[in-house]
């Protein structure tokens, strides 16, 4: 699937059906560009809050910790402007800034733990990649605990609406995006719950709320001009998500509708790669690079295509250029390390993957590659530790405990890595005790 990696996520204690995340450095960077001015207006740090895409065609967005905002790809695909998507992000950011999530985590006490690692860790561990391409943490989508945790009160919604409009205005974004996004859910408050979009079930919507929103928008003013930067990143995020989630033939018929040449080429590259038309995919991504030669994510996309077709040395070159342009992007570094590992350059691969881990330890695919690099370097204790952490992030606590125990026996007692192994081991033991009490 090119640059996008599928990941499963567990957010609450009672697992039912898992959800998938679409992890992609380009998409996440674009979402950060859209969210950054709003987060700053809310007094939040864009560097500390991830915007992650859920592989679900339904209309939904939610927060379960102060570190991550989740948005369904269905909501991104249905949005028709940057302001609509920014309104969603502003509303969720308001829940964080107004303390709604912190209070909920305190109120839920034991329910906030997942595998002994805590809800906050598990929520941001949504960034974890998975074993064979889609292994990770499972969310209890059908559990009453999860529904209760995600559901906001009408008072919280009113507070988040007003704050969100204020954040949008302060960030220079048109707050009418709130009214546009609400139109997507118009009339759903009268439907039976099972027929409502998930967003409406967790964010109570009413005619009174819509009227209040209209008043907020009028009060804060709508004399906001267009933002070309936001428009570009919205087109790019939506274009890439759409290319990955819609049929390739559908995408190829519409690449000219992107509004930007490079975005059209990117969409073409994704669609061609999904059809295993490597020559055409590489030609398209090279065209995108010609438009924006210093864009690290186009070089990353080229590396992904080359990796998928086992052109490992060429992938190293493409990822290497991306790393020079984005030396602190963990997903870009992880791709480079993976390519180095595939070419047998174990020492450089290990160093690069360790750097990626130091930036974002929640990428499970990176952890898998790092454990291989450690094993091939003869560092079996570190290989066992990283494997234990990967299993812990994926909710496989019994397997995590087995590898953590092995790591503890191989690592120097009292060292930093040994302590990490102990943390996983303790979490595994707690998970087993809870399982026996059921």
DSSP secondary structure letters along 89-116: HHHHHHHHHTTHHHHHHHHHGGGG-SSS
Would 114 be classed as within a structural domain?
yes
Number of domains observed in the structure of the chain: 1
Strands 50-54 and 68-72, sheet pairing: parallel
Q: What is the mean pLDDT of residues 153-171?
A: 88
Domain range spanning residue 9?
5-220
pLDDT over 60 (residue 150): no
Would 412 be classed as within a structural domain?
no
DSSP secondary structure letters along 303-363: HHHHHHTT-HHHHHHHHHHHHHH-TT-HHHHHHHHHHHHHTT-HHHHHHHHHHHHHH-TT-
Would 421 be classed as within a structural domain?
no
Question: What pLDDT score does 131 carry?
Answer: 30
Q: Lowest-pLDDT range, 48-52, 188-192, 379-383, 425-429? A: 188-192
Here the CATH number for the domain that contains residue 115 is 3.30.2010.10
Would 235 be classed as within a structural domain?
no
Contact assessment for residue 7 and residue 124, using Cβ atoms and an 8 Å cutoff: no
Q: What is the mean pLDDT of residues 24-38?
A: 97
219/122 Cα distance (integer angstroms): 39
Would 338 be classed as within a structural domain?
no
pLDDT tens digits, one per residue of 256-270: 888 999 999 999 999
Contact assessment for residue 263 and residue 292, using Cβ atoms and an 8 Å cutoff: no
Strands 50-54 and 19-23, sheet pairing: antiparallel
Would 256 be classed as within a structural domain?
no
Would 294 be classed as within a structural domain?
no
Would 103 be classed as within a structural domain?
yes
Question: What pLDDT score does 206 carry?
Answer: 60
Burial class (CB in 10 A: 0-12, 13-18, 19+), 430: middle
Average pLDDT along the chain: 83
Contact assessment for residue 397 and residue 406, using Cβ atoms and an 8 Å cutoff: no
pTM: 0.83
């Amino acid at each position: 699937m090119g640059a996008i990696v599928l990941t499963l996520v567990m957010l609450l204690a009672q697992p039912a059906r898992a959800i998938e995340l679409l992890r992609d450095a380009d998409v996440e960077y674009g979402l950060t560009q859209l969210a950054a001015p709003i987060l700053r207006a809310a007094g939040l740090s864009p560097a500390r809050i991830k915007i992650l895409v859920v592989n679900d065609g339904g209309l939904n967005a939610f927060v379960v910790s102060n570190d991550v905002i989740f948005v369904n790809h269905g909501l991104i695909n249905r949005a028709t402007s940057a302001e609509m998507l920014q309104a969603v992000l502003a509303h969720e950011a308001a829940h964080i800034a107004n303390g709604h999530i912190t209070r909920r985590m305190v109120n839920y006490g034991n329910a906030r733990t997942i595998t002994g690692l805590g809800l906050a860790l598990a929520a941001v561990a949504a960034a974890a990649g998975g074993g064979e391409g889609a292994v990770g943490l499972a969310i209890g989508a059908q559990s009453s605990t999860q529904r209760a945790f995600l559901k906001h009160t009408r008072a919280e919604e009113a507070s988040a609406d007003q704050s969100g409009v204020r954040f949008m205005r302060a960030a220079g974004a048109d707050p009418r995006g709130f009214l546009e996004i609400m139109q997507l859910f118009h009339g759903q408050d009268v439907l039976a719950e099972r027929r409502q979009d998930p967003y409406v079930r967790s964010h109570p919507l009413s005619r009174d709320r819509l009227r209040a929103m209209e008043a907020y928008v009028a009060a804060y003013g709508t004399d906001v001009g267009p933002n070309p930067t936001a428009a570009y990143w919205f087109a790019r995020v939506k274009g890439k998500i759409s290319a990955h989630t819609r049929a390739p033939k559908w995408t190829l018929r519409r690449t000219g509708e992107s509004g930007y040449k490079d975005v059209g080429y990117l969409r073409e590259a994704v669609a061609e790669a999904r059809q295993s038309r490597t020559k055409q995919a590489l030609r398209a991504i090279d065209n995108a690079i010609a438009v924006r030669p210093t864009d690290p994510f186009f070089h990353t996309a080229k590396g992904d295509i080359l990796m998928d077709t086992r052109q490992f040395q060429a992938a190293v070159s493409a990822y290497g250029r991306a790393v020079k342009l984005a030396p602190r992007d963990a997903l870009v570094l992880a791709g480079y390390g993976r390519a180095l590992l595939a070419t047998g350059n174990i020492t450089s691969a290990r160093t690069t993957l360790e750097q990626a881990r130091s930036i974002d330890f929640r990428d499970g695919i990176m952890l898998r590659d790092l454990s291989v690099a450690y094993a091939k370097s003869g560092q079996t204790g570190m290989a066992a530790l990283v494997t234990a952490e990967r299993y812990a992030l994926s909710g496989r606590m019994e397997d995590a405990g087995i590898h953590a125990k092995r790591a503890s026996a191989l690592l120097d007692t009292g060292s930093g890595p040994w302590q990490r192994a102990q943390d996983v081991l303790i979490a595994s033991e707690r998970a087993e005790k809870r399982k026996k009490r059921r």
